[in-house]
Structure 1
Amino acid sequence: MAVTASTPIELVNAAYARFDERIDAARTRLGHPLTLAEKILIAHLADPDAEIERGGTYNDLNPDRVAMQDATAQMALLQFVTAGLPQVAVPSTVHCDHLIQAKENAHVDLLAAEETNAEVYDFLESVSAKYGLGFWKPGAGIIHQVVLENYAFPGGMMIGTDSHTPNAGGLGMVAIGVGGADAVDVMTGFPFNVRWPRLIGVHLTGELNGWASPKDIILKVADILTVKGGTGAIVEYFGPGAASISATGKGTICNMGAEIGATTSLFGYDDAMARYLKATGREAIADAANAVAHHLRSDDEVLANPADHFDEVVEIDLSTLQPHINGPFTPDLAREVGELGAEARENGWPLEVSSALVGSCTNSSYEDITRAASILRHAAENGLRVKTELMITPGSEQVRATIERDGLLETFEAAGATVLANACGPCIGQWNRTAVSEGEKNTIVNSYNRNFPKRNDGISTTHAFVTSPETTVALALAGTLDFNPLTDTLTNDQGEEITLAVPVGEELPARGFDPGEAGFIAPPENA
């Protein structure tokens, strides 16, 4: 099958055919209705009649595809080469996103990375061409955002050599982060072996409003389950509240499931996923998913009585959920944003925000950026300016080109923000930060996913707090942690007290996505 910049409809149809063949038989054999996670795993079993026991049996699975980022792909591809095969056995891609260091701005940093890492990039591109892998150039975007935009599909299964691979669960895919050796097994035609996971259900009711965002859902889940609560389990989100969340918002939630130790996370197929598939040029996949939509969500009996079918059920009312901010030093130390100031003073955490960062694979969707930009526009109109360093990291070239076309980058730049490369950057520690030194206690806020000591800047005394893009921008305008955007005011140069407007976002761009500069290189047809 040809390797392209998207998942071929033939692959999707083949996956859906297995649902028709296997799901009814599995219900009869197992004697109970099935969750979505169970359906997808069963459809990808190497042996559909294999014994299954949650948390007990180890089972072989055949993923639909493999994705690798440039740091982990190096050793994985070296190992694959030793197998002596002419090409990879399943569709596979390499994404150059981890080796670009944030220092000056997108243009300068990308040029520096291309020069510094030229040997690595040449190796990855040449091996991809020789063995039939798709290659995404430096600057094309972060692996998880690119996968969501191009490769993820409802009911599919993939493995990726990065812990935040579950981002693809925003499109109803079982996407599992693995080590390079597991990826090599699948690329050489062997199955992926894993212990059959436990199942945690998160029942969402109500609807997000005001300053609350999808990020606040996973921050609340991290508070409830802690960093170990999801270990050995798939977290499945369902309920009427799930339907109100955009596909990219669902991706944010699934992405950060890695912070609770989950094998992966996912949502059932719905209209939001169909809208996103169509907006990203995948109408045929949306049509195919619509035809088998009954397979792409948990059975009705599961949804009616979740406690009987999940090992644990978490209840969250989105209508009452408030903006959260988690940290420092661990992503499960949670509280509502309005409670942070008092807690920071009590613990001696620096109140002054030394840097605010928006973006990453977790929160760089069009919806995220429009909500954050709406706050900055309102602030500018009312004489307010950011009081700390502000940086924005677009998740992909498609997102960057679209927000530039629609004037959103201009809004950030007018506020004094630095636009970084379409890469991981400070989220994974690729931040050449010179304004702060080791031993200097300081506070940063960001819309990233992980915040253990040294994670973002290599400085153990940096106190990193994780929150939504809109709350990050609000705290950048305030310059301090003891600010609650829901109730507090900011003083402009004229001495006027200004209440920040509630953020307003757009789920998808009204004018469609702008693909920007092409970043994909397909292998030669005869590879």
Structure 2
Amino acid sequence: MQLDLYSLKKNLKTANGNELTYYSLAELEDQGHNISKLPFSIRILLENALRNYDDFSVTKDHLNTILNWKPKGSEDDVAFKPARVLMQDFTGVPAVVDIASLRAEMARQGGEASKINPLIPVDLVIDHSVQVDYFAAQYAYKQNMEEEYKRNIERYTFLKWAQKSFDNFSVVPPGMGICHQVNLEYFSKGVIARDGMAFPDTLVGTDSHTPMVNGIGVVAWGVGGIEAEAAILGQPIYFISPEVIGLKLTGKLPAGSTATDLVLTIANVLRKYGVVGKFVEVFGPGVDHLSVPDRATIGNMSPEFGCTITYFPIDHKTLEYMRGSNRSEEQIKLVEDYCKANMLWRENEDQITYTDIVELDISTVQPSVAGPKRPQDKILLKDLKEKFIELEHASFGRSYIEPHAREDALVRWKEEGGSQPVEQPHDPNPDVEIEGKMKNGLKTVWISHGNEKYMLSDGAVAIAAITSCTNTSNPYVMLGAGLVAQKAREHGIDVKPWVKTSLAPGSKVVTDYLEKSDLLKDLEALQFHLVGYGCTSCIGNSGPLPPEISKAVEDYDLIVTSVLSGNRNFEARIHPQVKMNFLMSPMLVVAFAIAGRVDIDLTTEPLSCDRNGKPVYLKDIWPSDEEIQSVMKKVLTPADFKKNYDEIFDGNEIWRNLEVPNDILYQWDDESTYIKEVPFFQDLTKEPKPLQNIEGARALLFLGDSITTDHISPAGAFAEDSAAGKYLRSRGVDKKHFNSYGSRRGNDEVMVRGTFANVRIKNNLASKEGGYTTYLPSGEEMSVYEASQKYIENKTPLIVLTGKEYGSGSSRDWAAKGTFLLGVKAVLAESYERIHRSNLIMMGVLPLQYLDDETAQTHGLSGKEIFSITGLEDHLTPMKKLTVKAQKEDGTEAEFKVVARLDSPIEVAYYQNEGILQYVLRQFLKN
């Protein structure tokens, strides 16, 4: 029951003459509370707490914490109940499996299963499963869709069952768009009218890039699936009162720079400053020059900055975008009237008190890329060649030869008898020949394929992908990419034959305006054909490299690269054979596909030469701002949004023909290798068991800094000889039907075997890269999964030792679920990324943190010690200091204090209950 503690309810007359009630922040201001000094994002949290106050799950203490917000933050809890939840299929399937499993356990315990049901709207968009199997052809989209359904029919049937069985649950079928772009263009309201009340649109999403809609004035961030499930089932999300960093923008983007260059610059600036776990709110005169798509491009990469949100308050640009994207005039009027009445309209920014202010003059932004494995590692375009040479030598020990000298060097090497014959590719093709190898460090090979013969070397671009919600939501850079392609055609230049190209827009609106502008044909002429509407390369669904390229890379250990307009480039994420990955605007993706390599200075060197040998430079094919703006004005219309979103839930014929049962309880199939009831609730007691200290623990892994959730739980393809591959083969699944880790997140048997199985993960307890460790009692090296099973059999608790920024990247709940199922009881790190720390707690894994300036190295740890962690049994409280004793191999012992990163009382309660789902189920059973 909601309580109006401060008598704040007011009436707001709507455009159609009706009245809505709302909780007035202006009334609070009149009562003497200085609301005008609060950041807009804090005002929205305050309204949320006031509206949901019930003196039980949202208490007076929660209200006072946010009402008396301290710029330096505090250790006090904020309670937040989002208005809705967004999911995509990789994270959505396991979340729905969890809820279906909760229903099953509720029924077994004699409860009413139908009570386990979403209490707020949930929108799930199927966008993460399409792979780029087919490309550079008109039929690519249709063929990729057909392959997607073949691989995922069981998962999609399960999701359609959930849509039918659960209340408040909608599913957007495959092939319609990326969840964040659909959220920006369609689902986001700005202000919601529900049950006679108006309030700010807020949400959490089971994908880290949910803050994209911060650009349209919606407070939203990414959470793990398990935290989202709690919100769906009526639980508030609790977190400590956040600091809010003001990002002050001045100036205007210079000609030649794009919103992508701006967001990569911001990522670099904010990572250096340090905003992990903080809110960022953008203000200043520079904001006036940014459209909502520009703002959304920035908001999208909040997890790359490290912050929770990057918020843009609602203003006239917001309304302009809403009108252009076909929101109703009634809705637009509601947004304007409510925000102006309730102190949520962007104005009086100079009165706001921020924790700190970071300033950026947008006019100084230069064309940039980021890589080769972290989004925050910005490289100015003009410096990329020099940086590649430096990285090539530092990371791989290769010396550098200028491209014009490579052919002569290769010929000399062959004349000296250095040519090495190799086997034909796995798919034998008599027209394919691969030969040659440099002995001086830089790898170069000749490839003859049909009538083509070309030289492939280190630095070659193997993948050029226009992909991801970040940039495909922005018509400026998408139309810009089309104009780059058009001008390239006019100059008679083309993409190189070894480049795998793809165009994966975030919504069908994009293809509509590309077709209307007549630019889609230019992109297609350069092999950027539509391959699907989904995350594709950005999530690791790049599909296989062409056989001859794959063979050359494998046999000669080539350092090939990818260029993509995405937001993630972590090791092995884009493709396991691609060792360097660079983020950039769609316009630059086209340019680098033409150049065919990244060891080039596009600001001074020609991209390519035409048929007459005349050099063509980037400046020759780069459109002006006026050209792009002129095309945008002609082709962007609300009618395109209406046409596409009127049929958003329809799906294709395959989707419409999927038959699903009406059962309240899902009928689990023991033979399924995709969907399986989770094991988390087995033998659940009515009350949680008393906490115990961790004694006699061993380290399963000893890792370094910047371990991402991709390292912990990869999303892409996996090998036949991996633990997951062996499991599927034992179940009669052929390699060609393995699909990806991401697509099998509904089956814990596959996912636990894939935990810590990234091919690039480096464990100090193993002699080689990949998912290996040493089983310490015997000294035998084996897979992480095999070792964990031996430890579990011997009832040995496990820990993970690691460094800074542990768990950065995607909001991947399986990174925590898999850790738990491997028998890991605690993780000891120097620092954590926000979402993964939260996910560990919600799976009953204890996140421990070294004290300041202490590390595994300062304590002389090798990872081979026997550990005990004490202080858990005796009144566990938030941020309690525990004692770690590490008995070393020589018999000596290190003893030191660590902090239990349970930051609030509710996190302690989740940990005591062995996880949030167990906590929620016990609450349901009690009620």
After superposition, the Cα gap between the structure-2 partners of 1:55 and 1:101, relative to the gap in structure 1 and judged at 3 Å, is: farther
- Give per-residue Cα distances to partners, 1:275-305, cap 9 Å, x unaligned: 22112221333222222444334551xx326
SS in 1 for 2:155: helix
1:102 aligns with 2:121: no
Cα distance in 1 for residues equivalent to 2:621 and 2:600: 11
1:29 aligns with 2:150: no
- Give per-residue Cα distances to partners, 1:424-449, cap 9 Å, x unaligned: 11111112223335543111111100
After superposition, the Cα gap between the structure-2 partners of 1:206 and 1:16, relative to the gap in structure 1 and judged at 3 Å, is: farther
SS in 1 for 2:65: coil
1:322 pairs, out of 366, 369, 391, with 366
2:586 pairs, out of 469, 472, 477, with 469
Give the Å deviation of 1:353.
2.2
SS in 2 for 1:419: coil
Give the Å deviation of 1:193.
1.7
Structure 1: gaps (5+ residues):
1-8
- Counterpart AA for 2:514: I
The aligned residue for residue 367 of structure 1 is 476
1:135–1:520: 8 Å Cα contact kept in structure 2? yes
SS in 1 for 2:127: coil
The aligned residue for residue 288 of structure 2 is 243
2:315–2:346: 8 Å Cα contact kept in structure 1? no
Cα distance in 2 for residues equivalent to 1:66 and 1:383: 48
Cα distance in 2 for residues equivalent to 1:481 and 1:259: 23
Cα distance in 2 for residues equivalent to 1:451 and 1:39: 35
**TM-score, normalised to structure 1's length?**
0.89
The within-5 A match list for 1:81-100 is 81=100, 82=102, 84=113, 85=115, 87-100=117-130
- Per mean C-alpha deviation after superposition, the further-off stretch among 16-25 and 85-94 is 16-25
The aligned residue for residue 375 of structure 2 is 331
After superposition, the Cα gap between the structure-2 partners of 1:292 and 1:31, relative to the gap in structure 1 and judged at 3 Å, is: closer
SS in 2 for 1:505: helix
The aligned residue for residue 621 of structure 2 is 500
SS in 2 for 1:50: helix
2:65 pairs, out of 32, 51, 64, with 51
Which protein is bigger by CA-based radius of gyration? 2
The within-5 A match list for 1:212-227 is 212-226=257-271
Cα distance in 2 for residues equivalent to 1:14 and 1:51: 34
**TM-score, normalised to structure 2's length?**
0.52
The within-5 A match list for 1:144-163 is 144-154=180-190, 155-163=200-208
The aligned residue for residue 914 of structure 2 is none
1:358–1:448: 8 Å Cα contact kept in structure 2? yes
After superposition, the Cα gap between the structure-2 partners of 1:335 and 1:19, relative to the gap in structure 1 and judged at 3 Å, is: farther
SS in 2 for 1:51: helix
1:40 aligns with 2:48: no
The within-5 A match list for 1:247-262 is 247-262=292-307
- Give per-residue Cα distances to partners, 1:308-353, cap 9 Å, x unaligned: x222322111122111111101111112111111121222274332
Structure 2: gaps (5+ residues):
1-12, 54-61, 104-112, 135-139, 191-199, 394-457, 657-661, 665-927
1:231–1:260: 8 Å Cα contact kept in structure 2? yes
- Counterpart AA for 1:347: L
The aligned residue for residue 166 of structure 2 is 131
1:355 pairs, out of 463, 473, 481, with 463
Cα distance in 1 for residues equivalent to 2:510 and 2:35: 45
Cα distance in 2 for residues equivalent to 1:472 and 1:236: 30
2:215–2:293: 8 Å Cα contact kept in structure 1? yes
Cα distance in 2 for residues equivalent to 1:195 and 1:14: 38
The aligned residue for residue 97 of structure 2 is 78
1:15–1:43: 8 Å Cα contact kept in structure 2? no
The aligned residue for residue 288 of structure 1 is 334
After superposition, the Cα gap between the structure-2 partners of 1:27 and 1:238, relative to the gap in structure 1 and judged at 3 Å, is: farther
1:489–1:500: 8 Å Cα contact kept in structure 2? no
**Percentage of identical aligned residues:** 28
After superposition, the Cα gap between the structure-2 partners of 1:77 and 1:26, relative to the gap in structure 1 and judged at 3 Å, is: farther
The aligned residue for residue 3 of structure 1 is none
2:258–2:477: 8 Å Cα contact kept in structure 1? no
1:386 aligns with 2:495: yes
Cα distance in 1 for residues equivalent to 2:272 and 2:31: 33
After superposition, the Cα gap between the structure-2 partners of 1:16 and 1:327, relative to the gap in structure 1 and judged at 3 Å, is: farther
Give the Å deviation of 1:19.
5.5
Give the Å deviation of 1:396.
1.5
Cα distance in 2 for residues equivalent to 1:478 and 1:264: 36
Moved >6 Å (runs of 4+): 13-16
1:35–1:299: 8 Å Cα contact kept in structure 2? no
1:67 aligns with 2:86: yes
- Give per-residue Cα distances to partners, 1:170-191, cap 9 Å, x unaligned: 1011111011122112222222
Give the Å deviation of 1:16.
9.1
Cα distance in 2 for residues equivalent to 1:149 and 1:379: 31
Cα distance in 2 for residues equivalent to 1:169 and 1:17: 25
1:444 aligns with 2:444: no
Cα distance in 2 for residues equivalent to 1:376 and 1:17: 52
- Counterpart AA for 1:57: D
2:648 pairs, out of 505, 519, 524, with 519
1:200 pairs, out of 230, 245, 251, with 245
Between 1 and 2, higher relative CO (CA 8 Å, sep ≥ 6) is seen in 1
2:29–2:36: 8 Å Cα contact kept in structure 1? no
Cα distance in 2 for residues equivalent to 1:174 and 1:448: 22
The aligned residue for residue 172 of structure 1 is 217
SS in 1 for 2:244: strand
SS in 2 for 1:362: helix
Cα distance in 2 for residues equivalent to 1:21 and 1:36: 11
2:314–2:346: 8 Å Cα contact kept in structure 1? no
1:471–1:485: 8 Å Cα contact kept in structure 2? no
Count, aligned residues: 511
- Per mean C-alpha deviation after superposition, the further-off stretch among 156-165 and 486-495 is 486-495
- Counterpart AA for 1:367: Y
